[in-house]
Each structure stands twice: as structure tokens, then as C-alpha cells.
């Protein structure tokens, strides 16, 4: 079997495309007169952030901020470095699983579409578990740590995403070749780049009903009470509607975390929550509580099953 390179032509085209589109978006936002400041909703009460009786708020973008964008790009650089270092190992696992496949999908009619849909389904659950298990959230919190929402936010990627690589191992077992599996993952991630924007309001109703759109994904990045842990979709918003995690965009969105980390240091962004977990495990009494700090929902405390959201909980 021919081994594929960890970086292909699609990746080589994507990087300059990211740069050009971010520059275009930043210029377009800079000329707008309706920009708002990050933190402008900090004084709003929970009721103001979530009141469903009011008509939908108009979209007022937050725009770009130099330090925030620099931090996002540094996170991308670290993400690429880690992924390249682990590509060989993960590739070997996928090839071994493919050798034990229960059938062969490649070469059949509709194989590419089947791979895309299968990856998207598994991505929904991977993403959901990253919000529901603190050890996985410690990695994913990176992506939610910005109080801005623009194309650079899409590039704010974790350095420990390998923690959930196993979620996609069923694909080679089902008969999707490692190359087709990797291509489905690559295109799924690329699709999600363009939805990290406030320059697009809402699409046509048909598209909004089926696809993950900028409007749906803005909700996912919101710290408003009704937006927490919603809209996990990659490409198809259908999964959220099917599994009860869909929420439409209505109230103006407070981007970031329920308690923001206030740092642009890439190592603090990448590993701050892991350090918090280690601190909580050291101070916890009994193995049940120690395990709870790792495996229960973000914000969990030993004296209660559910605690109010802390900075360890995601903005939808």
C-alpha cells in the first residue's frame, strides 16, 4: 500500500488561502461602523443574555485584535508541528486496522460521500465528548479561548487533539482506506474554516436547515447560558437536530468562556487547563474524586454532580 504524505497539495493551497481570506476579512471589518468591543456583554445578566422573548439581535461583529490573532496563529503552528510528529504512528494504526477490515468501501460507487458522512457523524460525537469530559475539554478549550470570532479563530487549534484520534478508528475497520479516511477528515476541517466569521449573517433557509453555517457555529462559540454545549456539527447540522443539541442564533453572542483565561501566551492557552486538572487531582481526597476531576464534566466538584460553569467549560 502506498503511503501518503502527511502534507499534500490541499494543505499547501490552504495555508496561503487562510492568509488571503483573513486579510480580506480584517479589511472588510475594519471599515464597518457597527463593530463592538470584546467584553461588551460582560455586564449583562443571565436573563439579558438568554431572554427568548425578544426579537433576534442584529449581527454586530467584534473584529480582529493583533495579540489575539497572533496567539491563534501560534496555536496553529504548534498544532501542525504535533500532528506531523504523530502522523506516522497514527497512520500505522489506521493501516493495521484497515488490514482487519470487515469489508472494502474504496472503489465502490458513493465511497467518497459515505466517507464524508461517516467522518462527520464521528466528528459530532468526538466534538460532543470534548465538551462533556474534562480531560478532553482541556485540549478543546484552546479553540474556545478567544473572545473574538473571525477566520483566525478557526486556526486556534489544540496541541493535544491526538487524545481523540481513536474516535475515527472505526473508519478503516469498516473498510475506508487510510487515505480516504484522512481525506474525509481534512475536508471536514477545511469546511469548518469559513464558518468562523461574522461577515456572513444567515444563509438561505434550506442551507441553514441542513448545513453547519456561520450562524450555527457562532452559537457554538457563545458563553450565553442557552448557547453552552450546543451545535457540535462539523458539516451537517442535522446531527445536532437529531441528538437534541441544536440551538438557533437569537441573542447577541458573548464569545469565549464563561470565565475567560486572559492570556495570549501559547503555552498557557495550550496547557492551562491540564495544569488546573493536575492541581485539582492533587488536592482531591480519595480516588473517586481524583478520577472525577479528570473524567466528569468540566466544572464538576466532589460535593455535587453539577456545578455552575467555570472557565473550564466551553462556550457553545
* Residue 304 phi, psi dihedral angles, 5° rounding: -160, 150
Is residue 314 in some structural domain? no
Closest CA to 234 of 188, 170, 198: 188
Give domain status of residue 214, yes or no: yes
Task: Answer whether 261's CB lies under 8 Å from 147's CB.
Answer: no
Query: Would you say 283 and 294 are in contact if contact means Cβ atoms under 8 Å apart?
Result: no
Contact 227, 315 (CB under 8 A): yes
| Inside any domain, residue 305 | no
Number of folded domains that form the chain:
1
- 3-class SS of residue 12: helix
Judge whether 303 lies within some domain.
no
- Between CA 29 and CA 250, with CA 264 as vertex, the angle to 5 degrees is 45
Tell me, yes or no, whether 300 lies in a domain: no
pLDDT of amino acid 304? 58
First vs last Cα of the chain: how many Å apart? 41
Domain around 142:
9-295
The pTM of this model reads: 0.92
Establish if 249 belongs to a structural domain.
Answer: yes
Strands (E), the chain: none
pLDDT in tens, the chain (316 residues): 334 456 788 989 999 999 999 999 999 999 898 999 888 898 888 888 888 777 889 999 999 999 999 999 999 999 999 999 999 999 999 999 999 999 999 989 999 999 999 999 999 999 999 999 999 999 999 999 999 999 999 999 999 999 999 999 999 999 999 999 999 999 999 999 999 999 999 999 999 999 999 999 999 999 999 999 999 999 999 999 999 999 999 999 999 999 999 999 999 999 999 999 999 999 999 999 999 999 999 999 997 554 444 434 444 3
Within 10 A of 238 (CB to CB), how many other CB atoms are there? 18
Domain membership of residue 38 (yes or no) is yes
Does residue 167 form part of some domain?
Answer: yes
Amino acid at each position: 500500500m502506498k503511503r501518503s504524505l502527511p502534507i499534500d497539495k490541499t494543505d499547501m493551497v490552504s495555508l496561503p488561502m487562510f492568509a488571503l481570506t483573513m486579510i480580506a476579512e480584517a479589511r472588510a471589518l475594519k471599515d464597518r461602523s457597527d463593530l463592538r468591543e470584546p467584553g461588551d456583554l460582560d455586564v449583562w445578566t443571565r436573563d439579558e443574555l438568554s431572554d427568548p422573548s425578544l426579537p433576534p439581535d442584529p449581527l454586530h461583529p467584534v473584529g480582529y485584535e493583533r495579540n489575539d490573532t497572533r496567539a491563534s496563529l501560534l496555536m496553529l503552528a504548534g498544532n501542525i508541528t504535533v500532528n506531523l510528529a504523530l502522523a506516522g504512528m497514527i497512520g500505522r494504526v489506521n493501516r493495521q486496522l484497515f488490514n482487519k477490515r470487515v469489508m472494502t468501501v474504496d472503489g465502490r460507487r458513493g465511497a467518497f460521500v459515505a466517507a464524508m458522512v461517516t467522518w462527520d457523524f464521528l466528528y459530532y460525537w468526538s466534538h460532543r465528548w470534548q465538551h462533556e469530559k474534562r480531560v478532553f475539554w482541556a485540549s478543546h478549550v484552546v479553540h474556545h479561548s478567544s473572545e473574538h470570532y473571525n477566520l483566525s479563530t478557526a486556526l486556534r487549534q489544540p496541541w493535544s487533539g491526538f487524545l481523540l484520534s481513536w474516535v475515527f478508528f472505526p473508519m478503516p475497520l469498516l473498510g475506508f482506506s487510510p487515505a480516504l479516511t484522512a481525506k474525509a477528515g481534512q475536508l471536514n476541517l477545511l469546511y469548518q474554516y469559513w464558518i468562523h466569521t461574522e461577515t456572513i449573517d444567515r444563509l438561505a433557509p434550506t442551507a441553514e436547515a441542513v448545513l453547519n453555517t456561520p450562524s450555527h457555529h457562532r452559537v457554538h462559540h457563545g458563553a450565553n447560558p442557552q448557547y453552552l454545549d450546543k451545535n457540535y456539527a462539523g458539516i451537517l447540522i442535522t446531527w445536532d437536530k437529531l441528538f437534541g443539541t441544536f440551538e438557533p442564533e437569537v441573542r447577541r453572542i458573548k464569545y469565549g468562556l464563561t470565565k475567560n483565561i486572559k492570556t495570549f501566551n501559547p503555552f498557557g492557552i495550550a496547557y492551562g487547563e491540564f495544569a488546573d486538572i493536575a492541581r485539582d487531582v492533587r488536592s482531591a481526597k480519595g480516588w473517586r474524586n481524583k478520577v472525577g476531576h479528570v473524567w466528569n464534566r468540566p466544572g464538576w466538584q466532589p460535593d455535587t454532580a453539577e456545578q455552575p460553569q467555570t472557565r473550564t467549560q466551553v462556550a457553545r
